[in-house]
Chains A and B, each alone.
Chain A
Amino acid sequence: MNVFNRVLNNPIVVASGILPPVTKLMRDVCRKYAPGGITTKSMTIEPLQPHQPPTLLQYDHDTYINAIGLGNPGIKTLNKIGCFTIVSIAGNSVDNITLTAREAERIGDAIEINVSSPNRAGYGESLSSHVSKIVKEIKGLVTVPVLVKLGPWENIVDISGKALSAGADGLTLTNTIKGMIIDVHSMKPILSYKTGGISGRALHPIAVRAVYEVYKEYQPVIIGTGGVISWEDAVEFMLAGATLVGIGSGIISKGFDVIRKVNQGIEEYLESKGLKLKDLIGYIVR
C-alpha cells in the first residue's frame, strides 16, 4: 500500500484514542501486531487530565460511548515510535494547536488534526469552524503530510472541501458521533461528562456514508474509521473511497489480533475477486 510516498505493510492503522500515550506500549503494538501504521491518542502541548470516570462504556454489542476528554500527558512525553506513525493533535486555539503540530513533526510521519472530538469544551469540534486557518498555519510550518479528522456531521462534504482547499493532504473520516445515555432509575446521565462520543458498530454505516459522499466529491486520501470489527467492514470503507482503514473500538472488543484477522480477510477477498487493493478504493463511486 503506497500512501504519502510511503510503502505501508497493509492498509490497517490503529485509530486515535486506542493506544495509551506511552512510547513503549505503542512500539510493542507495532512490533507484535504489525499494523500498516498507528495513530497516537490526541496530544496537546500541555498535559490534560481526563474527565472523571465513568469515561468509557460498552453501550451495546461492539458499540461504545466515551468521554475521556482528550486526557494526555502532553506531546513532549512522546518519542519516535518506529512504525508509520500518525500523530493526532488537539488544542484549544489556532495558535495552541499549531504549536502542538511543531512538536508532532518531531515524532510523526504524518499529523492528524483533531477538530472533531465532542468530548471537551473548547477543544476538538469546538475548533471545526476554524479548520481552514488551522490547516493553512500547520501546512506552512511542517513538511510531513497533514490529515484532518472530522466528525460524521451533515456538513461533512462542505467542511472536507474547506480542509482540502486549505492544503490538507488527506482526511480521517470519521470521529465519534456525540450521544448521551441516561439512567432512568437515578434520573442522571451515566457518563460523568454527561455526553460522549459513540463509536463502534452503531457508527459504522454513518462513517461509510461520510467517506462515500466526500470521496465522490473530491477523491482525497481518506482513512475510513468507525466501527471496523471485521474484514467486511474494512472492505466497505475502501469500496466507498478509503485508502486506509482505522480500527478503534474493534480493538477494544476483539483485542489487537483483530488487525491480523482483518488483513487476512482482505487478502482472501482480493484473491477470490482477482483484484488488487487499489482496485477497491472508491469502487462504488466509479
Chain B
Amino acid sequence: MRKGKIVTMDGEEVIISVRIKSPRPGQFVTLILPGIGEFPFLIADYKKGNLKLKIHSRKIREEISNRKVVYIKGPLGSPIKIGRSVLLLGENDSLSELEFIINYCKSKGIKLRIENNMSVKGEEDTVIITSPDYARRADRKRVYVYFRNVKMNCMLGVCGECLVGGKLVCKDGPFLKI
C-alpha cells in the first residue's frame, strides 16, 4: 500500500502521483479510500510516478474530489503474456479501460486488431476478450477473458472470494486464460 496524491481529475480520468512497481499489461491496482472502501481498477497508464485510472463510478470520483491523499495497492494480478499479434474483442465502453494494453502493443510494434463483432476468426496468436459474456474458445495459443465484475476481497489471493473456474481472479487474473 502506497500513499498517493491526486494530481488531476478530468471527467473519468484521474491522475495520481504514487511510487509503485512498473506494471505489466493486464495488471490492476486498488484504490483505498479510508472509511469508504477499496476498489479495483485496471491501470490505464503509469509514467514517471503518475498513475492514470479511468473511474466510471461518479460516487467514487466524488469521494476522491474531497481528498488530497489516497492509497494505492499494487500492481496486482498476473500480466497477460502478449505474443506477436493481438486481437482485442470488446465494445467501446470496455475497450476504454484497456488503454494500457493498447498503448503497450503500439509501443512494442505488436500488430493489434480491435473488433466489436465478437468473432475470434483471424491469424493473431493472442486474443483478449473484454467480458466473460463473450467468452469463446479459439484455436490460439493465448485466449484471455477479462473478469471485470467479480467480487474480490483481500485482492492478494488468500481469502478465496474471487474464485472462478478454479482460479483466483485477483491473483491469476483479472484476465484469465481459457
Contact = CB atoms under 8 A, between A and B. Distances in A.
A252 B158 CA distance: 8
B35 to A, nearest CB: 4
Interface string A14-57: 00011111101100000000000000010000000010111111
Interface residues of A, number: 32
A59 B160 contact: no
A74 interface: no
A66 B156 CA distance: 11
A57 to B, nearest CB: 5
B154 interface: yes
Contacts of A185: 67-69
Interface string A65-76: 010100111000
B168 A183 contact: no
The DSSP consensus for interface residues of chain A is: loop
B164 to A, nearest CB: 11
A192 B159 contact: no
Nearest to B69: A185
Interface in B31-62: 32-35, 37-38
A72 B158 CA distance: 11
B1 A59 contact: yes
Nearest to B166: A24
Contacts of B37: 52-54, 192
Classify chain B: how many residues form its interface, as a range.
20 to 34
A52 B159 CA distance: 12
A252 B159 contact: no
Contact of A53 (B1, B153, B157, B158): B153
A253 to B, nearest CB: 10
A56 B156 contact: yes
Interface string B131-172: 000000000000000000000111111111101001010000
Contacts of A56: 154-156, 158-159
Contacts of B67: 185-186
A71 B152 CA distance: 13
6 contacts: A17-B158, A54-B37, A54-B38, A68-B154, A186-B34, A252-B158
Interface of B: 1, 30, 32-35, 37-38, 67-69, 71, 73, 152-161, 163, 166, 168
Interface of A: 17-22, 24-25, 41, 50, 52-59, 66, 68, 71-73, 182-183, 185-186, 188-190, 192, 252
